[in-house]
Amino acid sequence: MEKILEVKDLHVTFKTYGGEVQAVRGVNFDLKKGETLAIVGESGCGKSVTSNSIMRLIPTPPGRIANGSIVYKGRDLTTVNEKEMRKIRGVDISMIFQDPMTALNPTLTIGDQLTEGLKQHKDISGREAKKKALEMMDLVGIPSPEERLKQYPHQFSGGMRQRVVIAMALICDPDLLIADEPTTALDVTIQAQILELFGKIQERTGVSIILITHDLGVVAKIADRIAVMYAGKIIEVGTKREIFYESQHPYTKGLLNSVPRLDIEEDDLIPIDGTPPDLFSPPQGCPFTARCPFAMEVCDKVYPDSASCSNTHEVDCWLQDRRAQLVSPMAGTKK
Amino acid sequence: MSLAEKQKEPQSNGIPDEWFRPLDRSEQDAEKVSRPSLSYWGDAWQRLVKNKLAMAGLIFLILLALLAIFGPIFSPYSVREINPPNQNMAPSAEHWFGTDELGRDVFTRTWYGARISLFVGLMAALIDFFIGVVYGGISGYKGGRADNIMMRIIEILYGLPYLLVVILLLVVMGPSLATIIVALSVTGWVGMARIVRGQVLQLKNHEFVLASQSFGAKSWRIIRKNLLPNTMGPIIVQMTLTVPTAIFAEAFLSFLGLGIQAPYASWGVMANDALSTILSGDWWRLFFPALFISLTMFAFNVLGDGLQDALDPKLRE
Amino acid sequence: MLRYIAKRFLIMLVTILIIVTLTFILMHAIPGSPFNQERGTSEAVQANLEAHYHLDEPMYIQYLLYLKSIVTFDFGPSIKQPTSTVNDLLGRGFPISLELGLVSVIVAIISGILLGIIAALRHNKIIDYAAMAIAVLGISIPNFILATQLIQSFAVTWQILPAATWSSPKHMILPVIALATGPMAIIARLTRSSMLEVLTQDYIKMARAKGLSPYKIVFKHALKNALMPVVTILGTLLAGILTGTFVLEKIFAIPGMGKYFVESINNRDYPVIMGTTVFYSAFLIVMLFLVDIAYGILDPRIKLHKKEAE
C-alpha cells in the first residue's frame, strides 16, 4: 500500500528556563493509506509533540524542529512555509484534541465552528456548507442536527462535543487524521462509542489515522500498528498482534503488564518502578536503563540500533544482541 | 537463523563483549543528582530577585521608607516653620527641592509627605487585610447559607462607588489622618474578602485539611494552621496593590480639599497647594510631590506584579 | 437570562437604596444640623431647606419624604447659591461632565484594547515590553498629576494646546488624555493577559489545526473571549473616570458638575453634596447594571444558568 506519511529522524527541542528540553529525539515511522497507527507512551514521552510537529503546531519559539523530515505525499512539511501549511491543515491533515470540553470555542455556535474550515479552504456557498455540516453531523451520529447547529458548546455533553470535534476535523475530507488522546477525557461507556465511530469513519472515508494515547485498551480496539514511545524515542514498533503478544522491549512488556487485560489471565498488575529520565539531559544510552530489570552495562553506555524481528516489527534493545543471551534469560525469547 | 538475526551481526563492531553483563546499580544511584528542592517561599523569593523591575521597586520603597523615617531628623528645617523671606525659592544648595509660598523647605516637607502617604497606604492595606481575612475566611469556610448571604452583601457593597462614599464619610467626619484611613478601610476590604474566600474555598477540600479534620482538630485550628498559610500568595499581592490605591485616594481627596490639614502635608496636599504655580513657573513645588506620588505608586505596582508572578505556583517549572 | 437580569436589577435597587440611606444617615449624623449652622444663610434659604427636608417632622417621616424626593428627582435647594436648586446645578454641569467622561471612556476602551492585543500578539517582543511599560506608568501616575504635567508641558512650555476651559474640541484633548490614560492602561494590561491566556486554549489550537488565518483566529476566536474580563471591569473603570472628572474639572476649570461638587465640599453646601453623591452613585450603579446585562448577552454560557435554575 501507498505510504502517505514518512517521518524520519525527527528531533524537536524546547527552550526553557532550565535549558533545552529534547522532547523528541530521532523518531522514525511511516503510515500507509487507510491505516491506523497508534503511538503509545507515558505522558511526557514526546508523543503529542510528535503529532503537533506533523501539523507544525509546535509553539515556536520556544519549540523548534531541530532535525529530520516529515514527508507527506512526497512533500517535506518541515520546509513548507506557514502560508502553505495553512492550506494543508484541516484539508489534508486534521487533528482532534484530548479534551472536547475545551476544544470548542464557548462563544461561537457549533454550526459556525463546523463550517468555518470549509469556508476557509473551499469556495463554497453558505447553503452548501450547511448541507455538508448536516451530513457530517449525521456521520458522527448527532441527533436532530438542524437544531444542534444553532446551539453553543455548553449545551452539548462531553461525548456529543467530541463527536462535533470529529465532524469538524473531517469536514474537509482529510487524508490523515491525528487524534491526540481522543477518548481520555470521556466516560468509559462513551469512550467505546467514540472508538466505534472511528472505525466506522475509516471504513467510509478511508482516512489514515494516527492515534496518540497512553491507553492500551483504546489501542487494542482500533489500531493496525503500534509504536511505543519512551523518552522521545520510538523504542518498539509492530503490528497490533506483534506488540500485544510478541513484544520484545522490556518497557513494552512492562506497559502491557501494568494495565488490566481481559484476554490474558493475570494474577495482579505489575507497575513499572521509577520515572522516565529528565529530558534536559537525556542519557546517552538507552533511556529505560534505570528502570529496566534486565539492564546491562552496554545499555547505560550506547543506544541500541533497531533490530528487526519481522518485516513489520522493530525494536531498539540490546537484549536483541546475541551476546545478551549469555547473561539475560529474557533475551531472544521470541518464537 | 532468520534474516533479522543476521542483520544484528554488525552490532558487535565496536561494542566490547564485556559490556554485556548485568548493570551494577549501586554506583548509578549514587550518581543520581536530584535538583535542589526549594520551599515555596524560597522559590518565590528567587524568582522575585530575578525580576529586575520588581527589585528596583522594592529597593526604591526601602529607600523611601528610610528617608521618610530619618529624612526629617537630619534636615535643618522644620515642616511647619514659616519663613517669609525665603518664599518660592528655586532648588538650591540650601533648599534642594526649593521652598513654598510660606518659605517652607520642600525637601523636608516631601519626606513628611512620604510618612503620611506611606502610613495611609500601609494602614489601609493592613486594615483591609484583617477585615478581609476574617470576613472572607468565615464566608469561605462556613459555606452554605452563611456564605451565600455574606457574598450577597459583598456584591451589593461592590456596587457602591467607593470614592463617593469616602468623600461622603469625610465630609461628615471631617478630614484628618485617622478619618481618611477609616473611610478608606470602610470601602476597601471588599476586594480582599473576595480573594480570601476564593482561596479558602479552593483549599478547603484539600486532603491535608480533611486529614486534620479527621484527627478532630477544631475549625479555627484548621483555618489558622492549614488554610491561611496557603492562601497567603494572592493576599500578599492584593495588599501590595492596595497601598498605591490608598495613596492615590488620599492624594485625590487632598485635591478635593478633604486632605490632611495644615501644618502637616501629604504629597496630595502639597501638589494641590502648588496648583496655582503651574502658570507662575515655580515648577518645583508641583514637580516633587507629583514625582514622588507617581514613583511610589509605580514601585508598588511593579512590586505587586513581580510578587504575583513569583508567587503563582502555576508558573513553577 | 430573565432571571439573571431580575437578580441584577434587584441588587441594583438595593445598592441605590443603601447609598440614599447612607447619605441621609450621614447628614443627620453631622453635629448640629447641617442645614442651619452656617452663618450667612438667609432666612429665605433656611425656610426652603426646612420645607424640603421637613426638619420639623419625626425622623422616619423625614426619611420617607427624603426617599420620595429622590424618587421624584428633586434634590432640593442649594445653600450657597440661593437662586439655584441642586437640580439646576446638575442640569448645567452634568452634560459637560458626561461629555468629558464619555469621550474619555471611549478613548480608553479603544486604545486600551488595541494596545493589549498588540502586546499579546507580540508577546515577549520589544513592542510588548514597551506597551506594558506604558501601561504600568499609566496606572501609576494619578490622573490629576498627569493633568498638571500635561498643562505644564503642552499649554505653558510649548503653548500648543489650551490650558483650561471647555469651548472647542481642542480644549478636550488634555483633559481627555489625563482622564483616559489610567483606565486605558488597566484595560491594556487586562486585555493582554486575558488574550495570552485565551491563545493557549485548545479551541485556538483547534482553529489553527483547521488552517484558519491568524487574522481570523485572533479576531473571530480569541478576541471575544479575551474581552469578557474587560467587560466585567468596565463598571469600575467608569466609576473611576466619573469621579476623576471632579478633580480634572477643577484643574482645567471646566464648568462641569465636578466644579460645583468641589465647591460644595469646600463650603459645606450639604444639599449639593448629598444630591450630587446620590445622583452620581445612582448613575454609576445603573451603568454597572447595564454592563452586567451586556456581559450576559455576550457570554452564551450565562443563559445556561437560566436553564439549570428552572
Return d(Cα B198, Cα B248) in angstroms, integer: 27
Q: Given C136, C239, C273, which is nearest B171 (Cβ)?
A: C273
Q: Which residues of C touch A87 (CB under 8 A)?
A: 211
The overall average pLDDT reported for chain B is 77
pLDDT of B316 reads 39
B11 to A324: CB separation less than 8 angstroms, yes or no: no
For C19-59, the DSSP string reads HHHHHHHHHHHSSS-TTT-STT--HHHHHHHHHHHTTTS-H
Query: Is the C-alpha dihedral spanning C227, C232, C235, C238 positive or negative?
Result: negative
Q: Is residue B173 within 8 Å of residue B183, measured between CB atoms?
A: yes
Return d(Cα C247, Cα C151) in angstroms, integer: 14
Return d(Cα B124, Cα B133) in angstroms, integer: 14
> Strand A306-308 relative to strand A314-316: parallel, antiparallel, unpaired?
antiparallel
Return d(Cα A10, Cα B179) in angstroms, integer: 69
Q: Per-residue pLDDT averaged across C275-293, rounded? A: 87
Of the candidates B244, B249, B256, which has an alpha carbon nearest to the alpha carbon of residue B292?
B244
Residue C93 clears pLDDT 60, i.e. is over it: yes
Highest mean pLDDT among A144-158, B6-20, B199-213: A144-158
HEC letters along chain A: CCEEEEEEEEEEEEEECCEEEEEEEEEEEEEECCCEEEEECCCCCCHHHHHHHHCCCCCCCCEEEEEEEEEECCEECCCCCHHHHHHHECCCEEEECCCHHHHCCCCCCHHHHHHHHHHHHCCCCHHHHHHHHHHHHHHCCCCCHHHHCCCCHHHCCHHHHHHHHHHHHHCCCCCEEEEECCCCCCCHHHHHHHHHHHHHHHHHHCCEEEEEECCHHHHHHHCCEEEEEECCEEEEEEEHHHHHHHCCCHHHHHHHHCCCCCCCCCCCCCCCCCCCCCCCCCCCCCCCHHHCCCCEHHHHHCCCCEEECCCCCEEECHHHCHHHHHCCCCCCCCC
Return d(Cα B165, Cα A242) in angstroms, integer: 76
Q: Domains, chain A, ranges and CATH?
A: 3-92+174-277 (3.40.50.300), 105-172 (no CATH)
Query: Looking at domain B71-76+85-311, what is its CATH homologous superfamily?
Result: MetI-like (1.10.3720.10)
Residue A335 clears pLDDT 50, i.e. is over it: no
Give the percent of chain B with pLDDT over 90: 10
Kindly give, in sequence order, each residue whose CB lies less than 8 Å from that of residue C26, ignoring residues fewer than 6 positions away.
B168, B169, B171, B172
Q: Per-residue pLDDT averaged across B84-102, rounded? A: 70
Give the best residue of C199, C210, C225 to mutate against chain A (max A CB count within 10 A). Answer: C210
Distance from CA of A251 to the nearest CA of B (A): 17
Of the candidates B224, B222, B225, B233, which has an alpha carbon nearest to the alpha carbon of residue B198?
B233
pLDDT by residue (tens digit) across B110-160? 888 888 889 999 999 999 999 998 998 888 888 788 888 888 888 888 778
Highest mean pLDDT among A134-138, B58-62, B277-281, C122-126: B58-62
Letter string b/e over residues C95-129, b meaning 16 or more CB atoms within 10 A of that residue's CB: ebbebbbebbbebbbebbbebbbbbbbeeeeeebe
* pLDDT classification of B1: cutoffs 50, 70, 90: very low
Return the amino acid letter for A104.
L
pLDDT of B10 reads 45
pLDDT by residue (tens digit) across A65-113? 888 888 888 888 888 888 888 888 888 898 888 787 888 888 888 888 8
Residue C287 clears pLDDT 80, i.e. is over it: yes
* pLDDT classification of C36: cutoffs 50, 70, 90: low
Q: Given A88, A102, A116, which is nearest C201 (Cβ)?
A: A102
Residue C26 clears pLDDT 60, i.e. is over it: yes
Q: Is residue A99 within 8 Å of residue A185, measured between CB atoms?
A: yes
Q: Domains, chain C, ranges and CATH?
A: 93-309 (1.10.3720.10)
Note which residues in 215-234 of chain C have CB less than 8 A from chain A: 216, 220-221, 224-225
Contact partners for chain C, using 3 or more CB pairs closer than 8 A, are: A, B
* pLDDT classification of A260: cutoffs 50, 70, 90: low
Place of cell 530577585: B49
Residue B3 clears pLDDT 60, i.e. is over it: no
A106 to C225: CB separation less than 8 angstroms, yes or no: yes
Q: Which residues of B touch C29 (CB under 8 A)?
A: 172
B60: contact with C, CB 8 A cutoff: no
Residue B66 clears pLDDT 70, i.e. is over it: yes
pLDDT of A1 reads 64
* Greater pLDDT, C95 or B310: C95
Residue B72 clears pLDDT 60, i.e. is over it: yes
- ipTM of the prediction: 0.81
Return d(Cα C127, Cα C188) in angstroms, integer: 13
Listed range (A220-234, B30-44, C135-149) with the worst mean pLDDT: B30-44
Q: Which residues of C touch B258 (CB under 8 A)?
A: 265
pLDDT of C309 reads 33
pLDDT of B317 reads 35
Estimate the crossing angle of helix B283-311 against helix B52-74, to 10 degrees: 140
Return the amino acid letter for B97.
F
pLDDT of C296 reads 79
What is the strand order of the sheet A176-180 is part of? A93-96, A176-180, A208-213, A36-40, A225-230, A233-239, A314-316, A306-308
Residue C310 clears pLDDT 50, i.e. is over it: no
pTM recorded for the entire structure: 0.80
Q: Per-residue pLDDT averaged across A267-276, rounded? A: 68
Residue C202 clears pLDDT 70, i.e. is over it: yes
Fill in the DSSP letter of residue B89: P
* Greater pLDDT, C49 or C27: C27
pLDDT of A89 reads 87
Estimate the crossing angle of helix C301-309 against helix C270-298, to 10 degrees: 90
> Strand A225-230 relative to strand A36-40: parallel, antiparallel, unpaired?
parallel
Alpha helix locations (H) across chain C? 2-29, 43-53, 59-71, 86-121, 126-140, 143-150, 169-199, 202-209, 214-216, 223-251, 257-266, 270-298, 301-309
Return d(Cα B243, Cα C296) in angstroms, integer: 33
Give the best residue of B164, B187, B261 to mutate against chain C (max C CB count within 10 A). Answer: B164
Give the percent of chain C with pLDDT over 90: 12
Distance from CA of A90 to the nearest CA of C (A): 4
Q: Where are the domains of chain B?
A: 71-76+85-311
C207: contact with A, CB 8 A cutoff: yes
For B108-128, the DSSP string reads HHHHHHHHHHHHHHHHHHHHH
* pLDDT classification of B4: cutoffs 50, 70, 90: very low
Return d(Cα C196, Cα B242) in angstroms, integer: 25
pLDDT of B126 reads 93
Listed range (A54-68, B110-124, B287-301, C295-309) with the worst mean pLDDT: C295-309
pLDDT of A109 reads 87
Letter string b/e over residues B276-303, b meaning 16 or more CB atoms within 10 A of that residue's CB: ebbeeebbbbbbbbbbbbbbbbbbbbbb
A65: number of CA atoms within 13 Å, CB side?
Answer: 24
Q: Per-residue pLDDT averaged across B79-89, rounded? A: 68
C201 to A154: CB separation less than 8 angstroms, yes or no: no
Q: Per-residue pLDDT averaged across A14-20, rounded? A: 76
Q: Which residues of B touch C268 (CB under 8 A)?
A: 171
Q: Which residue of A has its CA nearest to C213?
A: A86
* Greater pLDDT, B217 or A34: A34
* Greater pLDDT, C12 or A261: C12
* Greater pLDDT, C282 or B263: C282
B13: contact with A, CB 8 A cutoff: no
Return d(Cα A316, Cα A252) in angstroms, integer: 11
Q: Given A18, A297, A301, which is nearest B317 (Cβ)?
A: A18
Q: Per-residue pLDDT averaged across C60-82, rounded? A: 79
What is the strand order of the sheet A63-72 is part of? A19-32, A3-16, A63-72, A75-76
Q: Per-residue pLDDT averaged across C249-264, rounded? A: 86
B11 to A321: CB separation less than 8 angstroms, yes or no: yes
pLDDT by residue (tens digit) across B155-179? 888 778 888 888 888 888 888 888 8
Indicate the SS3 state at residue C187: helix
Distance from CA of C278 to the nearest CA of B (A): 9
HEC letters along B176-224: CHHHHHHHHHHHHHHHHHHHHHHHHHHHHCCHHHHHHHHCCCCHHHHHH
A296 to B28: CB separation less than 8 angstroms, yes or no: no
A321 to B20: CB separation less than 8 angstroms, yes or no: yes
Q: Given C207, C209, C300, which is nearest A152 (Cβ)?
A: C300
The overall average pLDDT reported for chain C is 82
pLDDT of C31 reads 66
Q: Is residue A21 within 8 Å of residue A228, measured between CB atoms?
A: no
> Strand A225-230 relative to strand A233-239: parallel, antiparallel, unpaired?
antiparallel
pLDDT of B32 reads 47
Residue C138 clears pLDDT 80, i.e. is over it: yes
**Other CB atoms within 10 Å distance of the CB of residue B81:** 13
Q: Per-residue pLDDT averaged across A282-308, rounded? A: 81
Kindly give, in sequence order, each residue whose CB lies less than 8 Å from that of residue A231, ignoring residues fewer than 6 positions away.
A25, A45, A46, A276, A277, A279, A282, A287, A288
pLDDT of B27 reads 52
A320 to B19: CB separation less than 8 angstroms, yes or no: no
* Backbone φ and ψ of A212, nearest 5°: -100, 125
| Burial environment of residue C43 by CB neighbours within 10 A (0 to 12, 13 to 18, 19 or more) | exposed
C210 to A88: CB separation less than 8 angstroms, yes or no: no
pLDDT of C176 reads 92
B23: contact with A, CB 8 A cutoff: yes
Alpha helix locations (H) across chain B? 3-8, 25-31, 40-50, 52-74, 106-142, 144-158, 162-173, 177-204, 207-214, 219-221, 228-255, 267-273, 277-280, 283-311
pLDDT of A254 reads 83
Letter string b/e over residues B254-267, b meaning 16 or more CB atoms within 10 A of that residue's CB: bbbbbbbeeebbbb
Q: Which residues, listed in sequence order, are joined to residue A316 by a DSSP beta bridge?
A: A306
Give the best residue of C203, C228, C305 to mutate against chain A (max A CB count within 10 A). Answer: C203
pLDDT of B122 reads 92
pLDDT by residue (tens digit) across A150-193? 888 888 888 888 888 888 888 888 889 998 888 877 777 888 88
